[in-house]
Amino acid sequence: MLERARYIVVEGPIGVGKTSLARRLAEHLSAPTLLERPDENPFLGRFYQDMARYALQTQLFFLFQRIEQLRSLQQEDLFKGMVVADFLLDKDPLFASLTLGDDEYALYRQIYLALKPAISAPDLVIYLQASPETLRERVRRRGLDIERHIGEHYLASVAERYARFFYQYDAAPVMIVNAEELNPIDSETDLSLLIERLHGMRGYREFFGYAN
């Protein structure tokens, strides 16, 4: 699977390590990256302190940013090469549905559907899973000032929405990775095992690092 993939996405909830893994995988494949830029969102810090007040502004900023990034890729024709991204635009409504009221979500959906670029689905999605407790510990450990107000309840809700989203997602092959048991970011052995498993992937949905 991996040798045929040109558009690869690493996804997962806050703190699971998707950006770090995207960078490591891109380095291994000698591919460019397409990464989220949360530091550019002027509403994000305020959102974590007062979600009800700043959810719509935060969500729309990220939506416009991601759409601009994907359109830039289309213009540069990089999708004909290889690229590793740390976000999936189809997942964008996940956060919106979690944080917006009904009227705001309806407005967001109108904007999302009107502006969403017509791009091909990824050739491969790597979905990292971890428990809310692990996510909270990793967020605490990386020590970003902007994230100090993120609570475990919010992380648990995000993790649950991710699990529900990828349970139904069928637009691309998905490798679901147990990031509790495997650490392909810090462990060369685990990264090599993951890459080997991705090369050998034959099904449309596979699990790696699970007892079953």
The CATH code of the domain that includes 27 is: 3.40.50.300
Which of 36-45, 56-65, 166-175, 203-212 comes out lowest in average pLDDT?
203-212
Q: Provide the edge-to-edge strand list for the sheet that holds 83-85.
A: 33-34, 83-85, 7-11, 124-129, 174-178, 205-208
Angle at 176 between CA 133 and CA 81, to 5 degrees: 120
Range of the domain at 30: 2-208
Model's pTM, two decimal places?
Answer: 0.92
pLDDT at 20 > cutoff 80: yes
Whether the predicted pLDDT of 211 surpasses 60: no
Active site residue 86: yes
Using alpha carbons only, what angle is made at residue 67 by residues 62 and 73, rounded to the nearest 5 degrees?
A: 130
Task: Output the pLDDT for position 56.
Answer: 96
The average confidence (pLDDT) of the chain is 90
Q: Write the CB contacts of 158 (distance below 8 Å, at least 6 apart in sequence).
A: 13, 14, 94, 95, 98, 135
Q: For 47-68, how does the pLDDT look when each residue is reduced to its tens digit (9 = 90+)? A: 999 999 999 999 999 999 999 9
Of the candidate ranges 95-99, 141-145, 169-173, the one whose mean pLDDT is the lowest: 141-145
pLDDT for 80 equals 66
End-to-end alpha-carbon separation of the chain, Å? Answer: 21
More confident residue, 138 or 109: 109
Catalytic residue among 77, 86, 103, 145: 86
The pLDDT of residue 46 is above 90:
yes
Please check the confidence at residue 212 and state whether its pLDDT lies above 70: no
Q: What total of structural domains would you count in the chain?
A: 1
Those residues with Cβ within 8 angstroms of residue 157's Cβ, 6 or more apart along the chain or in another chain: 98
pLDDT band at 145 (very low <50, low <70, confident <90, very high): confident
Residue 56 burial by Cβ neighbours in a 10 Å radius (0-12, 13-18, 19+) = buried
CA distances from 23 to 9, 54, 102 (A): 11, 30, 36
